[in-house]
Structure 1
């Protein structure tokens, strides 16, 4: 007898770990501060740089010293990221364990992991390695833009210093977004892999239920969705016919996969699986 014909029971939604988000945000912000310190030490408070800057203004051209300073900062910034990058798999394992602990409250037997979950954690680590490296890259692109523009406009070194310090806020905001978005994505993808490994193929969409919910997510609130196909939905578990999400303007992604998505899934489990 298929799971659809058996008496069913819904588990609760599987939220992401707020502790994992806080820890990741803390470490990313610490990394931003390290890169900021490199910029301050090598540019803002470096007399050799200030002299080169003033020389560049007189010549209306960026000197080699300025170019070399930016290259030096970039090199040391990426080297300081090694510890943060090395901790990614450990973070992924923490999220996986948090996810599993909630599952075990509603399902009798939940393996600690499987090949699909392991793959999800590895892919997450690879993607976050890339994202971490973009933090100094984008910061230094902004720094270079400020320096070059200041040279062309002949701004004072004091004005340049003020603009450089203001540029760091952009990187701080990006670090916060990465932490919130990526922990949610990892939890969503692990939830999907864990559901499918247990033979659970359907879930109910649960939004954050507030004014910040996007329309494409809000229209799926309470709908029954398929883990095997992110483009379909149905209104109730007993419905036999699946409908296209695009017909109601729904997003073709699973909960947590869209940028900054706060939605979660409520697994449709059989009575036999239930604890």
Structure 2
């Protein structure tokens, strides 16, 4: 029997997703830093609250409102977000469907059943979900920016301390974007695999981890073992890719494939 090609986690799709969102975030952050340095920092005094500082907070609030609007309407506008989400879901979908087809063909010598309405529904739902995730990134970023600046003014922090806080706000949002990209990739991989396997009449799969030092211990135990799609693995009934940040994949069981 021919050996089936090993499934690969679509890391490239996850990286492209993160890279695109990070690019929007970098541009938005640069705008925040420029506004802070040119329009906000000179309004800050480091001697505690007083009348001038109260007035400064009013001015700063207006500038912060403008920054948030610019980010949401320009840097993270709807068209850019939809384009990123659409490219991501299509990339993952095409990758996983092709890998499944290659495994199917390696055993039976024929292509599996094509796309169906369930797969299209999964892609549509994933698009909607990822649009919401991407939108949450600038919202959370600006919430942190406002906290850093306004608390800094009220507590008499230096411009340097506030600038450092703004950099941390950016790093936090960048980390969140990276996590979302990998987590959503795994989740979509799991959903598409389940749909394709079940569409083809396959009730089970073989769990396959990526084999590096970041694999969870419980996923290492699952590696190479067969599970049913209807039950999943372990007491939690997990599917490959479902766990937070999971990069595991499903392999076709050649024995089952020969008997469908």
TM bucket, shorter chain? 0.7 to 0.9
Partner SS for 1:205: strand
CA distance in 2, matches of 1:214, 1:74: 39
- What pairs with 1:216-231 in structure 2 (closer than 5 Å)? 216-230=218-232
Distance in 2 (alpha carbons) for counterparts of 1:156 and 1:106: 60
Once the 2 structures are TM-superposed, how far is the Cα of residue 124 of structure 1 from its aligned partner? 1.3
User: Quick check: 1:32 aligned with 2:25?
Assistant: yes
Q: CA deviation at 1:30?
A: 0.2
Q: Distance in 1 between matches of 2:252 and 2:50?
A: 67
The structure 2 residue matched to 1:74, chosen from 68, 79, 82, is 68
1:209 alignment partner, SS class:
coil
1:9, distance to aligned residue in structure 2 (A):
8.4
> Which TM-score applies when normalising by structure 1?
0.79
Unaligned runs of 5+ in 1: 1-7, 234-244
Alpha carbons of structure 1 residues 110 and 69: separation in structure 2 relative to 1, 3 Å: farther
Displacement of 1:228 after TM fit? 1.7
Residue 182 of structure 1: aligned partner: 184
- Choose the corresponding residue for 2:119, options 117, 137, 144: 117
Structure 2 residue ranges without an equivalent (≥5)? 105-109
- 1:194 paired with 2:196, answer yes
Asked if 1 retains the 8 angstrom alpha-carbon contact of 2:68 and 2:142, the reply is yes
Structure 2 distance, partners of 1:68, 1:106, is 58
Do 2:103 and 2:252's aligned partners in 1 also have CA atoms closer than 8 Å?
A: no
Q: Is the 8 A contact 1:208 1:262 kept in 2?
A: yes
TM value normalised by structure 2: 0.83
Which secondary structure does the structure 1 equivalent of 2:102 belong to?
coil
Question: Any idea what SS the aligned residue of 2:157 has?
Answer: coil
Take 1:200 and 1:10, find their aligned partners in 2: how far apart are those partners?
18
How far apart are the structure 2 equivalents of 1:213 and 1:106? 23
Deviation at 1:57, TM superposition (A): 4.3
Pair 1:187–1:225, CA change in 2 (3 A): same
Cα distance, 1:98–1:252 mapped onto 2, change above 3 Å: same
Cα contact 1:206–1:264 (8 A) shared by 2: yes
CA deviations 1:184-212 (Å, max 9, x no partner) are 22122111111111111101112233432
- From the superposition, tell whether residues 270 and 53 of structure 1 become closer, same or farther in structure 2 (CA, over 3 Å): same
Tell me the number of residue pairs that the alignment of Structure 1 and Structure 2 aligns.
247
2:16 to 19, 23, 28: 23
Residue aligning to 1:266: 251
Q: Quote the offset at 1:100 in angstroms.
A: 2.1
* Higher normalized helix content (fraction of residues): 2
1:12–1:267 contact (8 Å) kept in structure 2: no
Deviations along 1:137-193, one digit per CA (max 9) or x if unpaired, are: 221121122123212321122332232234312222222222222222212211111
Root mean square deviation of aligned Cα = 2.5
Instruction: Pick which of 161-170 and 260-269 moved more.
Output: 161-170
